[in-house]
Amino acid sequence: MKNYKDLTKDIKNGTLSPVYLFTGSEDHIASMMIQRMSEKLVTPGLEMLNINRFESKNPDISEIMAACETLPVMSERRIVLASEETALLSVSDKNAQEALSGYFKNPCPSTILIISAEKPDKRRKLYKEAVRAGELVEFSKLDQRGLENWIAARMKRAGVRIGRPAVEAFIGRIHYLDNASVSTISVDSELQKLIDFAGEGGQITEEDVLEILPPGMEDNIFRMTDLIAQGKAQEAMDMLRKFQLEGESPIRIFGLIVRQVRIMAMLSAMIAEKANQQQMADYAGIPPFVVRKTLPAVRRYAPGRLEELIVEAADTDLWMKTGAIEQSLAVELYVLKMLKRK
């Protein structure tokens, strides 16, 4: 199995397979790789003649096969794209299965067939045959190092300088690493704001990031739980009521609070194990700099208290879902319980 870096090298070296299966949630990176293939293999201006896209939920397999067997027009290769919607590897028609199976056994060398399937069924025969015929490329979410490299590459290309503190502030603001719904599309969109602000040859500071990118709900909840840990009850309750007045769902507020409590509980357990900050980050699934920011709050709770709050959260969740207590009031009562740190 390959990742986007491996595929980038293959595109550059011209060592491409006739069949690719693109999996994973990062469609944006996959689209970038397809664009790079097109730029490398298809003569500019002839894209319409050499790139076939199939996106129908009920694809005509014979039409796809015909496209794959058609020679490229004044270009090195033809590119045939079968999107997620086609469910190409899950077709039930036996004739279609046989046609695909036959093609995978002897793919056209002048065509690159790219099949997209975020979570393919690996038990299926067509999946196994597609992988044997070419390459499986997984476009999963970037890890912290990958995200940092992604940011650095885009800033370098734009001629903008950015230091480590600003990168950490940016990662903390966008929540790419801890929010499955945030993709590299969002990352690039937010980076563009910084690039536009700095201009070519400019520099982005941590203060710039915090000013240009407003805090999201996750950031505000972090701030509120930090106030709770410090025992600043009035300030924490004021923040909570402000969220409610702004129309935030009590369920969402509660979910984010409990998520933060769970993270703190995990860090507390790792403190007891005398783990270092990198080990804590790996265990909790958060960046090391977030660990550093969170530890002061964790240490303000007595051993075992955060685990008790998780149990109390389950009770509160049940009350909210069964209507035993009004949702906004339930969240306020839970915050009051958090203020009891021993």
Per-residue pLDDT tens, the chain, 342 aa: give them. 899 999 999 999 999 999 999 999 999 999 999 999 999 999 999 999 999 999 998 889 999 999 999 999 999 999 999 999 999 999 989 999 999 999 999 999 999 999 999 999 999 999 999 999 999 999 999 988 999 999 999 999 999 999 999 999 999 999 898 888 899 999 999 999 999 999 989 999 999 999 999 988 889 999 999 999 999 999 999 999 999 998 999 999 999 999 999 999 999 999 999 999 999 998 988 888 889 999 999 999 999 999 999 999 999 999 999 999 999 999 999 999 999 877
From CA 3, how far away is CA 315, in angstroms rounded?
A: 43
Determine the Cα–Cα distance for residues 293 and 249; give it in Å rounded to an integer: 26
Q: Identify the pLDDT of residue 263.
A: 95
177 and 169 in contact (C-beta within 8 Å)?
Answer: no
Whole-angstrom distance, CA of residue 175 vs CA of residue 179: 6
Output the CA–CA distances (angstroms, integers) from residue 113 to 70, 126, 177, 203, in the order listed.
12, 14, 31, 42
Q: Which two tokens stand for residue 150?
A: 């992604």
pTM here is: 0.77
Write the CB contacts of 308 (distance below 8 Å, at least 6 apart in sequence).
Answer: none
pLDDT confidence of residue 216 = 87
Q: In what order do the strands lie in the sheet with 19-23?
A: 51-54, 78-82, 111-116, 19-23, 135-138
Rounded to the nearest angstrom, the gap between the alpha carbon of residue 12 and the centroid of all alpha carbons in its chain is: 26
Residue of 218, 237, 196 whose CA lies nearest to 335? 237
The residue among 137, 77, 80 whose CA lies nearest residue 113 is 80
How far, in Å, CA of 260 to CA of 30, rounded? 32
Q: d(Cα 228, Cα 76) in Å, to the nearest integer?
A: 63
Q: How far is Cα 137 from Cα 116, in angstroms, rounded to an integer?
A: 10
Match 């949702």 to its residue by tokens: 327
d(CA 87, CA 110): 24
Q: What is the pLDDT of residue 165?
A: 92
Q: In the numeric block, which tokens belong to residue 127?
A: 């999946």
Ordered structural domains, the chain, with CATH: 4-138 (3.40.50.300), 144-212 (1.10.8), 217-339 (1.20.272.10)
Those residues whose C-beta lies under 8 Å from the C-beta of residue 209, and which sit 6 or more positions away, are 166, 169, 170, 173, 194
> Could you give the CA distance from residue 231 to residue 309 in angstroms, rounded to a whole number?
16
